[in-house]
Amino acid sequence: MTAQLIDGLALAQKTRAQVAQRAAAFEQKAGRKAGLTVILVGENPASQVYVRNKVKACEAAGLKSELIVLPAETSQAALLTKIDQLNADTSVDGILVQLPLPPQIDSHRVIEAIAADKDVDGFHVANAGALMTGAPQFRPCTPYGVMKMLESIETPIRGAHAVIVGASNIVGKPMAMLLLAAGATITLCNSKTRDLPAMTRQADILVAAVGRPKLITASMVKPGAVVIDVGINRLDDGKLAGDVDFESVKPVAGAITPVPGGVGPMTIAMLLVNTMESAERRLV
């Protein structure tokens, strides 16, 4: 048996085409384009690539996208002033501050300064709380994309055991909340988990979001499980690898996402979806 490949690129393309239709309808109704503003502070090379991809994807779908690049030595006060201006700007539907931020800036303060109804990343405490209490406004893009990937192959979620490895605020925790809301039983693992393989082997749905190349090996996967690899790791030879040892796990799993071409493209697609949702909400 070999796992079904969940093609994130194809699903992202389809999602972006749907956003493009919504964006055109919005523009006709509102007399303006839906707008996302991305702020990058400093010159982190990976962040530069991420923000460029986000801006390009917006433009390709017919959204207005502004990229604000600030020098690495920008003060926290200056960044907060910029965010205030964007909060008040009615042509801006979504604000995204690319993380990580330079050390003089407290990212928590910055995220909390973004108006919750423009926080298309879904990281603001109001949005995290809304998700936790079952009335989500913006679902964080990566786990939201994973849910769409599971839907795309009609994965049974209700009653399934979902094991999530990694418990960050941006991936693991919101992933757990979304799967729980969909009726799964959740195990959320972190670096202190005592016997990780014993946990992962119970998973009908296994989500790896750790940042350790090839941490999940074949012996850690229940035959037939759906394996979602969120990890993006740059290896010494320059190649990208996920948190799952793809080649060894593929013959065991029922379905699997590749890296690259899996969760990554869906994250960007869901950012566009969130921006559209924000714009449409603003219109009514």
Task: Please list every residue from 136 through 155 that binds ligand NAP, using CB under 6 A.
Answer: 142
Calpha distance 284→278 (Å, rounded): 11
Based on CB atoms, which residue is closest to ligand NAP, 86 or 256? 256
Size of the site for ligand NAP (CB under 6 A): 25
Site string for ligand NAP, 167-186 (x = CB under 6 A): xx-xxx--------------
Determine phi and psi for 170, rounding to 5 degrees. Answer: -95, -25
Q: Is residue 99 within a helix (H) or strand (E), and if so which, with residue range?
A: none
> DSSP 3-state assignment of 217?
coil
**Is residue 263 a contact residue for ligand NAP (CB under 6 A)?**
yes
54 catalytic residue (yes or no) = yes
Q: Which is nearer to ligand NAP, 26 or 50 (CB)?
A: 50
Shortest distance, position 189 Cβ to ligand NAP, whole Å: 5
Taking the least distance from each CB to ligand NAP, the nearer of 76 and 168 is: 168
Q: How far apart are CA 106 and CA 68, in angstroms?
A: 19
- Give the span between the Cα atoms of 33 and 66, in whole angstroms: 12
Calculate the CA dihedral of residues 4, 9, 96, 133 and round it to 10 degrees.
-30
Cβ of residue 28: shortest distance to ligand NAP, in angstroms? 32
Nearer to ligand NAP, 267 or 275 (CB): 267
For the record, the structure tokens of 251 come out as 């013959």
Which of these is catalytic: 64, 82, 93, 98?
A: 98
Name which of 86 and 163 has its Cβ closer to ligand NAP: 163
Find the shortest distance in angstroms from Cβ 194 to ligand NAP: 10
Count of CB atoms situated within 10 Å of the CB of 17 = 12
- Contact positions with ligand NAP (CB under 6 A) in 210-239: 210-212, 230-233
Contact between 11 and ligand NAP by CB under 6 A: the answer reads no
Long-range contacts of 85-88 (CB under 8 A, 24+ apart): 86/37, 86/118, 87/113, 87/114, 87/115, 87/118
CA nearest to 245, candidates 273, 208, 270, 284 = 208
State the catalytic residues: 54, 98, 121
List interacting residues with ligand NAP (CB under 6 A): 142, 165-168, 170-172, 189-193, 196, 209-212, 230-233, 263-264, 267
